[in-house]
A and B are shown apart, each in its own frame.
Chain A
Amino acid sequence: MRHLLSISDLSKDFALEILSTAHELSRISEGGTKKLPTLRGKTVVNLFAEDSTRTRISFEAAAKRLSADVINFSAKGSSVSKGESLKDTAQTLQALGADAVVLRHPASGAAHRLAQGRWISGTVINAGDGTHEHPSQALLDAFTIQRHLCDSKGDLAGLHIAIVGDILHSRVARSNVLLLKKLGAMVTLVAPPTLIPFAWESWGVNVSHDLDAVLPTIDAVIMLRIQKERMHDLYFPSSREYSSLFGINAERANLMKSHALVMHPGPMNRGLEITAEVADSSASVVVEQVANGVSVRMAILYLFIAGNQEG
């Protein structure tokens, strides 16, 4: 496979191969090896047309640990803010000899457009496109769940995962639902009715509006960020009301099974969807998710670029 655009393109076996590769890579890192020669001579461009800290530095760290050359390209301070089109930017990157483009873009389908446009010959890796998908985040979430709750080679069958918050605008939720289902987990979405997408019935998930009822049954809960930049309509009456009904606090966290994990893709709005007490508790794996993100992105770069000699 040449491009990583959507979780739906991945077979279950390939998704598991990415996770097991990430597992070996994280063991190598823990063993003290910080740098591998695997992608020496390859150029990875991080093209970020939307703000991001975690994903960009995570991809950058991953590429550097595999000895690739990294070019960071962000919308602010580049010609993109002068109105240059994706096509022209892509052709520039092609001229620079990019072997892979990691694309974050505010428009859904941008990565797909870049991959199908034949403007570049390299690999396109979707690092979040609008409200569509964020495959590498889903893979690192699955990896984190697998490390804590399963044997490292197995799928997630039998686990029950809740995704809580703004499902409607969340590319993280979309990719996670696809991947968790593919790996055999049961998924429940928890949100106010205004933040549940219309066609959720076709996703093969459960929907609940009662967080307290769901928490005792789950093995991990993924809290989504309330994206203030996408809250243009009145989706809920007030932040306080949202927080009291759908935020996780210490009292709610106590409803969970003792092994259950609290996850958050970051950046967290402490005090809105998650209290500081829970975010810093032992059930929270938020910081570990960031570390796992590097291993998973190394696995993605290795598997998608290493052998990609023109097609």
Chain B
Amino acid sequence: MSIALTAQDISRAITRISHEILEKNTDSNAITILGIPTRGADLALRVANSIYEISALKIPVGALDVTLHRDDLRIRPPRPLMETSVPVEGVEGRTVILVDDVLFSGRTIRSALDALGEVGRPARVQLAVLVDRGHRELPIRADFVGKNIPTSLSQSVKVSLLERDGLDEVAITEAM
């Protein structure tokens, strides 16, 4: 096992992503951040807090569970649903920033785009991820990346976050 990101690296990455979000979106009042449970939702809250520290802007933040929109439902056992909470501002006509911990095949994000389409029609959708590990199976890319980590398919990337796992860390493990 090797540590790809330490607690300090994660916190720097989140600060940088927050700056980039503000830089890229001049109309920051129209931003809504939606995290993909479980750890994407935790990261979404951190990004929103970080934006608040930088610019004193209160960005609406919520969570979007994509389980029911996944394309592998029929080949994997059903999994429990996570919480979906869309801020009262909704998504209609807004800039939605999806946040997830690891970008891998891109299938989760495809499901998220479908799930988002059920909620409303955002003006635009952007994607922020803590780790991009490559191996895309769909034409999807992230707008904001904490760190690009080249991996092999036999490896797995484990993201631990303080609020859920007791420490901040991204580790690469070799599958047995």
In the complex, which residues of chain A have a beta carbon less than 8 angstroms from the beta carbon of B86?
31
A302 vs B118: C-alpha distance in the bound complex, in angstroms? 18
Of A44-52, A206-214, A264-272, A303-311, which stretch is located at the interface? A303-311
Q: How far, in Å, is A43 (CB) from chain B's closest CB? A: 13
Task: Report if A72 contacts B (CB, 8 A).
Answer: no
Task: Report if B113 contacts A (CB, 8 A).
Answer: no
7 tightest Cβ-Cβ pairs between the two chains A and B: A24-B81, A307-B77, A33-B118, A306-B78, A38-B68, A307-B78, A36-B68
Pairs across A and B, CB under 8 Å, 7 listed: A20-B81, A24-B84, A28-B68, A32-B119, A37-B68, A66-B68, A306-B78
Task: Report if A21 contacts B (CB, 8 A).
Answer: yes
B residues 20-64 near A (Cβ < 8 Å) are none
Q: How far, in Å, is B130 (CB) from chain A's closest CB? A: 25
Contact A36 B74 (CB under 8 A): no
| In-complex Cβ contact of B119 among A17, A20, A33 (8 A) | A33
Q: How far, in Å, is B82 (CB) from chain A's closest CB? A: 7
Q: How far, in Å, is B80 (CB) from chain A's closest CB? A: 6
Q: Given A31-B119, A33-B119: A38 and B84 within 8 A (CB)?
A: no
| In-complex Cβ contact of A36 among B69, B77, B78, B82 (8 A) | B69
Task: Report if B65 contacts A (CB, 8 A).
Answer: yes
B residues contacting the other copy or chain, number (CB 8 A): 19
Interface of A is mostly: loop
In the complex, which residues of chain A have a beta carbon less than 8 angstroms from the beta carbon of B65?
24
A residues 2-39 near B (Cβ < 8 Å) are 17, 20-21, 24-25, 27-28, 31-33, 35-38
Interface centre among B65, B80, B81, B85 (most CB of A within 10 A): B81
Q: Interface residue tally of chain A, by bracket?
A: 20 to 34
In the complex, which residues of chain A have a beta carbon less than 8 angstroms from the beta carbon of B73?
38, 306-307
Q: Given A32-B119, A38-B68, A309-B75: A27 and B84 within 8 A (CB)?
A: yes
| In-complex Cβ contact of A38 among B69, B80, B83, B85 (8 A) | B69
In the complex, which residues of chain B have a beta carbon less than 8 angstroms from the beta carbon of A32?
119
A83 vs B81: C-alpha distance in the bound complex, in angstroms? 43
In the complex, which residues of chain A have a beta carbon less than 8 angstroms from the beta carbon of B82?
24
Q: How far, in Å, is B78 (CB) from chain A's closest CB? A: 4
What 0/1 readout, one digit per residue, does chain B (65-109) give for beta carbons within 8 Å of chain A?
Answer: 100110001111110111111100000000000000000000000
A32 vs B84: C-alpha distance in the bound complex, in angstroms? 12
A20-B80, A37-B69, A307-B75 known; 10 new pairs, CB 8 Å cut-off, are: A21-B81, A24-B84, A27-B83, A27-B85, A31-B84, A33-B119, A36-B69, A38-B69, A302-B68, A307-B73
In the complex, which residues of chain A have a beta carbon less than 8 angstroms from the beta carbon of B77?
307
A254 vs B170: C-alpha distance in the bound complex, in angstroms? 59
Residue of A nearest to B118 (CB): A33
Task: Report if B174 contacts A (CB, 8 A).
Answer: no
In the complex, which residues of chain B have a beta carbon less than 8 angstroms from the beta carbon of A302?
68, 78
What 0/1 readout, one digit per residue, does chain A (152-188) give for beta carbons within 8 Å of chain B?
Answer: 0000000000000000000000000000000000000
Contact B78 A37 (CB under 8 A): no
In the complex, which residues of chain B have a beta carbon less than 8 angstroms from the beta carbon of A33?
118-119
Residue of B nearest to A28 (CB): B84
Contact B84 A307 (CB under 8 A): no
In the complex, which residues of chain A have a beta carbon less than 8 angstroms from the beta carbon of B85?
27
